A and B are shown apart, each in its own frame.
Chain A
Amino acid sequence: SQQGEEDPQALSIQEGENATMNCSYKTSINNLQWYRQNSGRGLVHLILIRSNEREKHSGRLRVTLDTSKKSSSLLITASRAADTASYFCATVRRSGASGSRLTFGEGTQLTVNP
């Protein structure tokens, strides 16, 4: 079953605007990751934030994590048409020898209009 829930399910913005996507989860985690998926393609890893971190940046991406609320947000600044894709958050409950299975949410479909 899916642990994460993304909000909104779909988001349509104009090029140049910022896009914010939210993710909530239910259990304790080791880390939370965001992935991007273009239609019908594989997933591309965007950013990983550990459970003891609150904010992380990578280029135009900013991720926050609030473990007390079991939620995360992904902000894409100055969006481009090429950012159009589905965005998924994924949590890892444990890592180490037992592996780091990802539990994905249902995703947010982002459309950036030129």
Chain B
Amino acid sequence: DTGVSQDPRHKITKRGQNVTFRCDPISEHNRLYWYRQTLGQGPEFLTYFQNEAQLEKSRLLSDRFSAERPKGSFSTLEIQRTEQGDSAMYLCASSLDQGVRETQYFGPGTRLLVL
């Protein structure tokens, strides 16, 4: 257990529905990252927060995706009008700003299946 939690752990939804995932980082960590991982692949970066500010977004993050980190604590990732191609593991990671020594601690992930 890294101290990063994600909820839910599994989500099955029908195409076209909206889903929201939550990530609770390690409490003193000011940085929070979201990644997506499909079967047999490495994780791919989606977006990054420094405190409450969303500072970077990947081109993978289409306009159907939105992420927030109110008050710089927990974060939510919402997918609107889900598509089958959204089926993946969504991973959250948190870290402290430590320059070249920064280490990200990952949560257990939320596995999404879109039918």
Interface residues of A (CB under 8 A from B): 2, 4, 30-31, 33, 35, 40-45, 48, 50-51, 88, 90, 92, 95-107
Which residues in A have their C-beta under 8 angstroms from that of B95?
100
The answer, yes or no, to whether B101 is at the interface (CB within 8 Å) is: yes
Across the interface, A99 reaches (CB within 8 A) one of B42, B48, B108, namely: B48
Which residues in B have their C-beta under 8 angstroms from that of A2?
41-42, 44
SS of A interface (majority): loop
Q: How large is the interface on B (under 10, 10 to 19, 20 to 34, 35 or more residues)?
A: 20 to 34
Additional A-B contact list (9), CB under 8 Å, known A102-B93, A106-B40: A2-B44, A40-B111, A41-B108, A96-B99, A97-B50, A97-B97, A98-B56, A99-B33, A100-B31
Query: What's the count of A-B pairs with C-beta under 8 Å?
Result: 80
Quick check: A95 and B106 within 8 Å, CB to CB? no
Which residues in A have their C-beta under 8 angstroms from that of B44?
2, 104
Quick check: A100 and B55 within 8 Å, CB to CB? no
